[in-house]
Amino acid sequence: MKQTVLITGASRGIGRASARLFAQAGYQVAINYHKSKQAAFDLVQELTAQGYTAMAVQADVSKRSEVFEMVDKVLLSYKQIDILICNAGIANYGLFTDFTEEDWHSIFAVNVDGIFHTCQAVLPGMIHRKSGKIITASSIWGISGASCEAAYSASKAAVIGMTQALAKELGPSGICVNCVAPGATQTDMIAGFDAESLEAFRLDTPLERMGKPEDIAQTYLFLASPAADFITGQVLSPNGGYLI
């Protein structure tokens, strides 16, 4: 029986690359999207045309009711969810003193509350089966903090704390919980940075390149695989050596 992976924020960027990689690895893939409906359904069409099994499911992960409806739809089609990848996230760049209360709460609603809702929706089945893997998405800025990204850094640090706590709590149920903290990766999230800033970041990276979505997807796939069955509560940071 094929295993099922639910990937949030999978219509573009790292999530999209991950959906392709997991499909190629033999998983049934549930592709969550919020607003990018056409991109999600185009990806499903691409994967099914290649003989893979995939479906698109809409949900704003910051909305608890939508998350639970999404999980119910996946379970209706695929019976169980073996791997959960909490990949959806947003960023906000600016001076801390300019942040509004709404800015602060909105980024936590997606980056932290979204993981809370999704894990609570998926965990009953995993606990019942005493198996499963959860992978959360943090950032190098969740480890070290970044100037002008206080809200984002704080939210991603919270993800690490939640991951480690869940690993301890869910270990006796046979569930592994790990975190991936990427460095700067070529996605829409860094589109707002100018060329000079991106070049400076590249030069400060020992491997002298930005990350590709596929680099992060490969890390997700490793943590989901049997090769990582004795790994839990860890933070893997594919960042080209930027943060050592």
Give the span between the Cα atoms of 223 and 142, in whole angstroms.
19
Respond yes or no: is residue 27 known to be catalytic: no
Strands 175-180 and 235-236: parallel
* pLDDT confidence tier of residue 104, bands split at 50, 70 and 90: very high
Can you spell out the DSSP letters for the chain? ---EEEETT-SSHHHHHHHHHHHHTT-EEEEEESS-HHHHHHHHHHHHHTT--EEEEE--TT-HHHHHHHHHHHHHHHS---EEEE-------S-GGG--HHHHHHHHIIIIIHHHHHHHHHHHHHHHHT-EEEEEE--HHHHH--TT-HHHHHHHHHHHHHHHHHHHHHGGGTEEEEEE---SBSSGGGTTS-HHHHHHHHHTSTT-S-B-HHHHHHHHHHHHSGGGTT--S-EE--STTS--
pLDDT in tens, 54-76: 999 999 999 999 999 999 999 99
Tell me: pLDDT of 121 over 80: yes
Pair of tokens at residue 95: 């001076």
**What HEC string does 137-171 produce?**
ECCHHHHHCCCCCHHHHHHHHHHHHHHHHHHHHHH
Domain ranges in the chain are: 4-184+213-236
- pTM for the model stands at 0.96
Q: Quote the mean pLDDT of the chain.
A: 96
* pLDDT confidence tier of residue 200, bands split at 50, 70 and 90: confident
> Which residue matches tokens 């499903």?
44
From 33, 78, 152, 220, active-site residue:
152
pLDDT in tens, 155-199: 999 999 999 999 999 999 999 999 999 998 988 877 777 888 888
Q: Which fold is adopted by the domain 4-184+213-236? A: Rossmann fold (3.40.50)
Q: Which of 180, 167, 165 has its CA nearest to residue 18?
A: 180
